[in-house]
């Protein structure tokens, strides 16, 4: 991990965790991680040591256009090769600037350089590509690096979105093909509404298994059980894992909401699509977070037509038809208001299901009766006879959580409420 | 940083950033950070290397009661001294368990061990204390560690709350007294609408300064210039940095939107609050992201009353009054539609400023004329005579970006458009 900003603590390093997880999934052991600043001598020393003790060196950072971006140069120096300009990359960077109606600064030409002999690791979302540099002992031994097999250097930018895109598009498959030894197949079973320790207790008899292994992880207000099996190939590994997955599936019921990349919002989207139904959301304290998460799913325009963020009382009245009397008697943060919001949204959007959220996200606005973290959810849907059916839920998330966390957890509970409703399990 | 869980990516390492920042404040240079798993040989090797190249070695993790907690043992082995039981610590740990009505497991006795010659680094919030081990060249040279001055090893547990408490209560003052030379003060100047390389070119003459230093960083579609100064204390350091900050402030104009923790949304919020104005947002392709970001700021209910996510054409017509003819002639993704959305939102919310966003976030829905990444922004406000003033902007973000990235960048451009409008600079 290369960058003085990391050693100064200006930036929280999340790339390390991402790469560490991905390597674990590929079954590639990562034994050392080193963070170093933008100093060429120290970068080269760290690279040299890393290559002497490992087959694969991944770097993050130092691919930008400025003078303190030194990664590519250090690789070339370390291996004693010149840097050459990749005309295709240069044209690509020029094009990126042209698209934004900027003239490319001369300094960006540097980003088209790569050490002679290295391949380009394409960057689908930014101007700086990385390199894939495959090295034989004949190349690296004379440079003071020990070892006797092929080694590879792969460089990534420090910007997480770019690193992830490059990993997913190119690097993962490359490493899987060349270094992914016995094949590890894994699956995450994502739970909501049950804690990590309760999950661990429920499946205690599975946690000691050797192959497949079962391990619980706590995420952002969800719990995952990771089932991983090792075998000669992916199919064999999957077969090995299947009985355990089936057991968890049967045991977890509706607390199991999905697998791997599934999210609460993608699960809700799938259920709506399967039922050919539409959803509308009226948010207050979450301020658009539920809407944002639901529409982050490609194709969500099939089931989301209209959402509203009715932050002020006037907005709740004018747009959703919440009555002045309800607001006066019970307040905007009340089960009654949530119900009227959901009902009003159902009509306004002419949707099959409407969800409403009103609560106190803090840090201000709490009272003794309704402290920060106090939230009401409402859900309106139409019965077979056309009448409106209402449901509600009250959350007490605790007044010591930060605002963003209260909003995030509220959104999870709200999405889960819609999920359970669609499953007929509310 | 010691712990296999860090190398597997099961845990996000936040201790590194905390310690890095704290060291920077003390003016202690941190040149290397190494993460290693629970393997005694590798831990000792990393410790030995760290001590050879630095005066201070801080470790985090490996102080627990289980067999894979090896830090203290490795320090003792490295220095060739036995471990002794600290009776006082043992009594303290016993007491902690008694307080919780637990009997202390035998394994916890291990946490009362420390290398002979080391002092205890007290842990006010947990059972595992750390050590402060001061070493002279006569002690460490024979163990293969190079150097000629006093060195110190300080160990912390991996649990962030315990590490922070131990740092704040004991370690910081110890290091300040023994090693804290000068103090570093730093400030980030956050820019939008100018690239990292353009920024670096504009301020090339500042990038070579020694004290204060100026360094550019690229973030998520924003650029930061970090100005850091070193002096005897914080006030003196700040004074040293001020002329450079003033120069950048004058040079950057409206491309400088804020400092340190400021975001585009918090800046927009501040400008609205200062002007006592309200903002309403009508979103299509961003699906609530702009609303969510604006309301993520505590106190945003002062200036946000109502936002709408009008995803479907019917919603744009019904809620915002976009005309069927506009949708038919120009389509929902058009400057005309954006203008009508903004105008409709201004009236619906009775706001001072209304922002609208309509575009194609992908991956589907693009055409040759309007590819993925094609977005129109609209802005409506009221002139002094009450008439509505409209402004618009078209973005071409490129059709190769992931959906989430297109939405994020669109939100940035939209927030920046509001910012410039409020500054009278649109």
* pLDDT value for A256: 97
pLDDT band at A219 (very low <50, low <70, confident <90, very high): low
Instruction: Render pLDDT for B17-55 as a digit per residue (tens, 0 to 9).
Output: 999 988 987 889 999 999 999 999 999 999 999 999 999
Distance from CA of B88 to the nearest CA of A (A): 33
Residue B9 has pLDDT above 90, yes or no: no
Q: List residues bridging with A83 in a β-sheet.
A: A115
* pLDDT value for A218: 66
Residues of A with Cβ-Cβ distance to B52 under 8 angstroms: none
Identify whether the C-beta of residue B265 lies closer than 8 Å to the C-beta of residue B415.
yes
Q: Is A349 on the interface with B (CB under 8 A)?
A: yes
Domain spans of chain A? 4-179, 183-259, 264-422
pLDDT band at A220 (very low <50, low <70, confident <90, very high): low
Same fold, A4-179 and A264-422: no
* pLDDT value for A96: 82
CATH number for the A264-422 domain, one of 3.20.20.70, 3.30.930.10, 3.90.950.20, 3.40.190.80?
A: 3.90.950.20
Contact A8 B21 (CB under 8 A): yes
Pairwise pLDDT comparison (B261 vs B406), residue with the higher score: B406
pLDDT band at A200 (very low <50, low <70, confident <90, very high): confident
Q: Among A111-125, B213-227, B318-332, which stretch is predicted with the lowest mean pLDDT?
A: B213-227
Closest chain A residue by Cα to residue B11: A17
pLDDT band at A289 (very low <50, low <70, confident <90, very high): very high
* pLDDT value for B14: 94
Contact A291 B287 (CB under 8 A): yes
Q: What are phi and psi of B132, to 5 degrees?
A: -120, 115
- Strand B256-259 to B183-191 pairing: antiparallel
CATH number of B183-259: 3.30.70.2860
* Length of chain A counted residue by residue: 426
HEC sequence for chain B:
CECHHHHCCCCCCCHHHHHHHHHHHHCCCCCEEEEECCCHHHHHHHHHHHHHHCCEEEEECCCCCCCCCCHHHHHHHHHCCCEEECHHHHHHHHHHHHHCCCCCCHHHHHHHEEECCCEEECCCCCCCCEEEEEECHHHHHHHCCCCCCCEEEEEECCCHHHHHHHHHHHHHHHHHHHHCCCEEEEEEEEECCCCHHHHHHHCHHHHCCCCCEEEEEECCCCEEEEEEEEECCHHHHHHHHHHHHHHHHHHHHHHEEEECCCCHHHHHHHHHHHHCCCEEEEECCCCCHHHHHHHCCCCHHHCEEEEEEECCHHHHHHHHCCCHHHHHHHCCCCHHHHHHHHHHHHHHHCCCEEEEEEECCCCCCCCCCCCCCEEEEEEEEECCCCCEEEEEEEEECCCCCCHHHHHHHHHHHHHHHHHHHHCCCC
With pLDDT > 70 as the criterion, what percentage of chain B qualifies?
A: 99
Q: Is B161 on the interface with A (CB under 8 A)?
A: no
DSSP track, A369-417: SS-TTEEEEEEEEE-TTS-EEEEEEEEE--TTS-HHHHHHHHHHHHHHH
Pairwise pLDDT comparison (B183 vs A335), residue with the higher score: A335
Mean pLDDT over each residue of chain B, to the nearest integer: 93
Pairwise pLDDT comparison (B374 vs A223), residue with the higher score: B374
CATH number for the A4-179 domain, one of 3.30.300.180, 3.40.980.10, 3.40.1390.20, 3.40.50.360?
A: 3.40.980.10
* pLDDT value for B272: 98
* pLDDT value for A48: 98
Span B354-376, average pLDDT: 95
Mean pLDDT over each residue of chain A, to the nearest integer: 93
Distance from CA of A80 to the nearest CA of B (A): 24
pLDDT band at B11 (very low <50, low <70, confident <90, very high): confident
Element (H, E) at A112: none
pTM, two decimals, is 0.77
ipTM: 0.75
Contact A10 B186 (CB under 8 A): yes
Residue B218 has pLDDT above 90, yes or no: no
Classify residue A194 by its DSSP letter. S
Instruction: Render pLDDT for B270-295 as a digit per residue (tens, 0 to 9).
Output: 999 999 999 999 999 999 999 999 99
Q: Is B16 on the interface with A (CB under 8 A)?
A: yes
Span A360-383, average pLDDT: 94
Q: Look up residue B14 and give its two tokens.
A: 């936040």
Contact A298 B200 (CB under 8 A): no
């Amino acid at each position: 991990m290369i960058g003085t900003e990391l050693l100064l603590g200006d930036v929280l390093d999340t790339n390390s965790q991402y790469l560490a997880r991905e390597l674990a999934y590929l079954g590639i052991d990562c034994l050392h991680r080193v963070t170093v600043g933008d100093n060429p001598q120290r970068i080269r020393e760290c690279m040299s040591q890393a290559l002497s003790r490992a087959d694969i060196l991944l770097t993050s950072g130092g691919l930008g256009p400025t003078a303190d971006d030194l990664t590519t140069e250090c690789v070339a120096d370390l291996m004693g090769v010149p840097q050459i300009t990749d005309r295709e990359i240069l044209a690509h960077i020029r094009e990126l600037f042209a698209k934004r109606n900027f003239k490319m600064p001369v300094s960006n030409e540097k980003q088209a350089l790569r050490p002679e002999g290295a391949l380009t690791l394409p960057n689908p979302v930014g101007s700086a590509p990385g390199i894939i540099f495959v090295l034989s002992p004949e190349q690296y031994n004379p440079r003071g690096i020990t070892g006797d097999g092929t080694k590879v250097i792969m460089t990534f930018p420090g910007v997480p979105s770019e690193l992830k895109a490059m990993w997913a598009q190119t690097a993962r498959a490359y490493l899987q093909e060349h270094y992914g030894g016995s094949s590890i197949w894994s699956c995450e079973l994502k739970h909501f509404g049950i804690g990590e320790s309760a999950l661990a207790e429920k499946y205690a008899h599975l946690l000691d298994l050797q192959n497949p292994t079962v391990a619980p992880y706590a995420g952002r207000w969800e719990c995952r059980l990771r089932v991983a099996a090792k075998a000669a190939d992916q199919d064999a590994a999957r077969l090995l894992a299947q009985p355990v997955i089936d057991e968890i599936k049967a045991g977890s019921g509706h607390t199991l909401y999905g697998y791997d990349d599934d999210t609460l919002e993608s699960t809700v989207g799938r259920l709506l699509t399967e039922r050919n139904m539409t959803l509308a959301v009226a948010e207050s304290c979450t301020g658009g977070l539920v809407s944002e998460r639901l529409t982050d799913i490609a194709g969500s325009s099939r089931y989301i037509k209209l959402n509203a963020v009715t932050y002020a009382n006037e907005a709740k009245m004018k747009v959703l038809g919440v009555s002045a009397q309800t607001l006066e008697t019970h307040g905007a943060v009340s089960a009654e208001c949530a119900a009227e919001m959901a009902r009003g949204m159902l009509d306004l959007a002419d949707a099959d299901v409407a969800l409403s959220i009103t609560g106190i996200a803090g840090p201000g606005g709490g009272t003794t009766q309704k402290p920060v973290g106090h939230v009401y959810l409402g859900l309106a849907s139409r019965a077979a006879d056309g009448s409106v059916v209402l449901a509600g839920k009250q959350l007490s998330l605790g007044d010591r959580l930060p605002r963003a966390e209260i909003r995030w957890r509220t959104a999870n509970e709200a999405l889960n409420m819609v999920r359970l409703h669609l499953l007929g399990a509310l």
